Structure 1
Amino acid sequence: MKITSDFLIIGSGIAGLSFALRVAEQGTVAIVTKREIYETSTNYAQGGIATVFSEDDSFEAHAEDTMVAGAFLSHRDIVDLVVESGPKAIQDLINFGTDFTKNSDGEYDLTREGGHSHRRILHASDITGREIERALAAAVAKHPNITVYEYYCAVDLITEAKVKHRRVPDNRCLGAYVLDSKNKEVITFGAQVTVLATGGAGKVYLYTSNPDIASGDGVAMAYRAGAAVANMEFMQFHPTTLFHPHAKSFLISEAVRGEGAILKRADGTAFMEKYHKLKDLAPRDIVARAIDNEMKTNGDDCVFLDITHKGADYIQQRFPNIYETLMKYGVDMSKEPIPVVPAAHYLCGGVKVDNHGQTEIRNLFAIGEVSCTGLHGANRLASNSLLEGAVFGERAADKAIEVVSKETFDYPSVEPWDYGSATNSDEEVVVKHNWDEIRMSMWNYVGIVRSDKRLIRALRRIQMIQEEIADYYWDFYVTTDLLELRNLATIAELIIRCALKRKESRGLHYTIDYPQTDDIHCKHDTILRKTF
């Protein structure tokens, strides 16, 4: 079976849906999404989206905050581009029906988060991502040129080199093989332009704030196809996820600290003052390392986030979703501090792209968390992620429309998926065991604090697991679990290899072997390409 369209989008978060709505006026669009259209990292984003909306703020201030948070590894031209494109991108979201929270004066309520010098975060209560996802998905559902394929999991990209079984001088993407998870059939999706909008890779770690879908599919597929990936060593750990035996890494938004919450030890002592001048509003990498150090130094399982001084009425009004969720776990944030620990949250690296989201493979774009645009550098500034997704969704769409209108597409014959001699597996336990081992190894050896010895140990184990996965992959029919496992193993390898190449500590990458930042000899970007 083959499905063709002008534009194929893999993923359905803010970046993918923004792209879809813009290109749908110029051609047919197929959106492939691994679960329901709403099951995205965007949907789980609580805090908000950053942009310059106040007369007291400026593009220069937002750009400078981004550079500082990114440990000056961010590309200044990209930072300026995204920051200056922000207000229009936000207005487009509003035009699509996003209902951001307003204050009593009817103005948009701007909050502040860690690393920001001004209040510039627009939010929809404490469910900002859910509101953006709702508005965009509703607009997509109404558009006659857009077809959404739910429970379809991408297997691999189809490139001209893959079809011709040889290297080609100007390799281009022709679409993707995609697993129809319900019917257990691999389908060929052909398209003039293919867009990776698959989100991040938090599930490569044992503890993460990410939804289960965040298995690094887009980065792994692009790497296997020959595209460059960059800065994979920079995995952001969100400082504050709920520590509770029955909670599945529930995120406590940075906006809670933005509104005055204080991090404390078990004895009630505040500790962030000794780590950074911004104290509890320091950038995430610093706060996460501070918490990690406090837990290790004092032998505690967690630290505590205290906002009780703001009063019950304020807390319930400002953070209704967080308040209600915590109450289900027996934690009343208006009366007691919240037990929190860091967890893997956001991948600052990804598929290397230009300022329109184009990868090194022709007609293949990557937007959102799957991409490495140069915006985030060594550490993402809070609430810049949704902003990047919206801005690059539009920029990539404009370039993709230009590509489709200018190029004449002569597609080589694409063979259907070859099942070979594969059979149904009766050893699913192997998949689960390898999944658990990858995540445990990454957490123990490639986490918030690293060393070359730990990284090398992790790489050896990941390579052994990859050999097992390769045998399993070709012997049995593919399933979503197997595809995710294969991709997670690739992501783990890429993170480790990039971490080994960076001989300094900067931003989210901290190694005890090179504890200082090296501005003279450091690599600006850590780039990897697959050798064929």
Structure 2
Amino acid sequence: MTTPCWEANADLVVVGTGVAGLTAALRARELGLDVLVVTKEAADGGNTRWAQGGVAVVLGDIEADSVARHVDDTLVAGVGLCDEVATSRIIGAGPAAVDRLRTLGAEFDRDGDRLARTREGGHTAFRVVHAGGDATGAEVERALLAASRDDRVPMLEHHTAVDTLRTPAGEVAGLLVLDADGVPGILVAPAVLLATGGLGQLYQATSNPAVATADGVAIALRSGAPVADLEFVQFHPTVLYTGSGARGRCPLVTEAVRGEGAVLVDARGDRVMAGVHPQEDLAPRDVVSAAITRRMAALGDDHVYLDATHLSPAEFRRRFPTVLAACLRVGVDPSEAPIPVAPAAHFSCGGVVSTVDGRTAVPGLYAAGEVARTGLHGANRLASNSLLEGLVVGARAAESVAADLALGLPPERRLAACQPVPVLPVADRDTLQRVMSRYAAIGRDAEGLAVVGSVLDVSAVDRPLETRARVEDAALTLTARAVIAAAAAREESRGCHVRDDFPGTARSWARSLTVRLTPSGQPMIAEPAMAKGAA
């Protein structure tokens, strides 16, 4: 089939049903926009539901904490690459965003007459609010989905976003999609918001669900938008070890377990983080993941242990029911024995270069959530800042769309013409994941990154994107090439990016690397990134 056989119209198409996408859709609806949400799974199939720890936010009811202190913790975790203006604006808007979420019905755990707090790695205060013990993401998603249904936000479930439709001037004019049967169609709209989540499926083991295939990064690149900080892929230090060769989504053991006093030990019972960092087991995630990786290499092991046996069975069950259920499924009782854990791909600190209001360099294209690079995370995300960012930037992006549409004429709707599905390079997913995990995970060097590039060049074959699997594999192929381009160019170790051949952190590299596509569709380094803090 060479032309789409169906069409729909909207003011704004939102791609994704995570916290950023649903927040944006609800705010756009409030502003009177005709909004349509697209998701390749069911509405509850995104990554938000798997977020355990909580929302990092300063609500003003704890005298020892402040927004400025939260900003400082974020800047320290980001190792010199956070945009301080953007960070301050997003964190400063956190209390109002959480209040809005609570008015939609989200219920957080309480400690007497105020919300309960926990502390996670990199935080110098107890400021992470949570729900259901360790099921915050599920509660956030529940509240947003319920509000979306109540407000009758239309959703196209089981529809895969393929590419933006663009005018001759490069403005976005809609979205090409495939329905559940692989039939193409066009969604004609002057604004498309990418809220597609992350890229965890680049790797063999990840905390991300199967939908996290870097779709938004690939769509943005092909639309002409730059991406930045892609080399900074955060590996969560404590993902449940389920056996040698684990693949796909592995259960997360929230950082909040360490916030409640659990410690990492190796197979001999020795502390992993003792003497490594002043905050020891509550050091930033990049520090902990790297320390675990070094210890495993030194001992020839493929996992370590998280000892939470100081918590009584009742305490662990009350505070961490999700973690407990996952542990029991693999035969581990955390109150009696340490939990086997290992690092796994978790969060992309980089993404589509965008402002804190969701705007990208391409007119009509917006981004929010993990797919976006606002400057909040820098070289390493501070724990539980992600739900906060999705709530804040999702709402602001919808407001940007409304303002932009009010100020100017949208692209001519008929310019979103029928067109064939694109034909793009597609590599074998299993091969891609194996070489990315071997050569582009926590420890990297020039030789290994070159191996990844060579393998992708040999294995990639041009194919029409006629199925969801083809769309996903094309996105993974392009994004893997962009990640290794940035990782090869950054000749230092900083945050999540660890180069074995350049172990030091260099002041000259305290800048973001921007990636664009060449006319032939190859990722290339193209500095500088968008002006920091721009609105």
Shift of 1:418: 2.0
Deviates more, 1:307-316 or 1:434-443: 307-316
5 Å-filtered alignment, 1:169-184, equals 171-181=170-180, 183-184=181-182
2:418 is matched with: 416
Which of 31, 44, 58 does residue 38 from structure 1 map onto?
Answer: 44
Cα shift readout 1:20-66 (whole Å, capped 9, x = no counterpart): 11111312111000101111111110010101122220111101100
Which of 516, 524, 528 does residue 529 from structure 1 map onto?
Answer: 516
Deviates more, 1:324-333 or 1:245-254: 245-254
* Separation in 1, partners of 2:56, 2:321: 21
Question: Is 1:505 equivalent to 2:493 in the alignment?
Answer: yes
SS at match of 1:274: coil
Shift of 1:523: 5.0
| Alignment-mate amino acid for residue 208 of structure 1 | T
| Alignment-mate amino acid for residue 509 of structure 2 | C
Segments of 5+ residues of structure 2 without an aligned counterpart are 1-5, 520-535
- Classify 1:306/1:419 alpha carbon distance in 2 versus 1 (closer, same or farther; 3 Å): closer
Question: Is 1:333 equivalent to 2:334 in the alignment?
Answer: yes
Question: Is 1:453 equivalent to 2:453 in the alignment?
Answer: no
Which of 103, 114, 124 does residue 117 from structure 1 map onto?
Answer: 124
- Classify 1:302/1:411 alpha carbon distance in 2 versus 1 (closer, same or farther; 3 Å): same
5 Å-filtered alignment, 1:45-444, equals 45-53=51-59, 54-103=62-111, 105-124=112-131, 125-144=133-152, 146-161=153-168, 168=169, 171-181=170-180, 183-245=181-243, 248-409=249-410, 410-418=412-420, 434-444=428-438
Report if the CA contact (8 A) 1:197-1:367 is conserved: yes
1:165 is matched with: none
| Alignment-mate amino acid for residue 235 of structure 2 | F
Shift of 1:192: 2.0
- Classify 1:276/1:192 alpha carbon distance in 2 versus 1 (closer, same or farther; 3 Å): same
| Alignment-mate amino acid for residue 200 of structure 1 | G
Shift of 1:355: 2.6
2:33 is matched with: 27
* Separation in 2, partners of 1:158, 1:457: 34
Segments of 5+ residues of structure 1 without an aligned counterpart are 162-167, 423-429
Shift of 1:464: 2.3
- Over the aligned positions, Cα root-mean-square deviation in angstroms equals 1.7
SS at match of 1:273: coil
Shift of 1:419: 5.8
| Alignment-mate amino acid for residue 445 of structure 1 | Y
* Separation in 1, partners of 2:228, 2:422: 34
* Separation in 1, partners of 2:162, 2:325: 38
Shift of 1:274: 2.5
- Runs ≥4 residues deviating over 6 A: none
SS at match of 1:387: helix
Deviates more, 1:200-209 or 1:394-403: 394-403
**TM-score between both structures, scaled by the size of structure 2:** 0.92
Identity level (%): 39
Cα shift readout 1:474-493 (whole Å, capped 9, x = no counterpart): 3xx61111111110011100
Report if the CA contact (8 A) 2:12-2:192 is conserved: yes
| Alignment-mate amino acid for residue 67 of structure 2 | F
Q: Higher helix fraction: Structure 1 or Structure 2?
A: 1
SS at match of 2:428: helix
* Separation in 2, partners of 1:271, 1:113: 17
Report if the CA contact (8 A) 2:173-2:415 is conserved: no
| Alignment-mate amino acid for residue 173 of structure 2 | L
Shift of 1:420: 9.8
Report if the CA contact (8 A) 2:73-2:382 is conserved: yes
Report if the CA contact (8 A) 1:232-1:498 is conserved: yes
| Alignment-mate amino acid for residue 173 of structure 1 | V
Cα shift readout 1:393-430 (whole Å, capped 9, x = no counterpart): 111111111112222223343332426999xxxxxxx9
Shift of 1:239: 0.4
| Alignment-mate amino acid for residue 308 of structure 1 | T
1:427 is matched with: none
* Separation in 1, partners of 2:423, 2:232: 40
Aligned residues: 506
**TM-score between both structures, scaled by the size of structure 1:** 0.93
| Alignment-mate amino acid for residue 524 of structure 1 | R
Report if the CA contact (8 A) 1:367-1:392 is conserved: yes
Report if the CA contact (8 A) 1:65-1:117 is conserved: yes
Report if the CA contact (8 A) 1:465-1:489 is conserved: no
* Separation in 2, partners of 1:56, 1:277: 20
* Separation in 1, partners of 2:452, 2:86: 33
Report if the CA contact (8 A) 2:166-2:416 is conserved: no
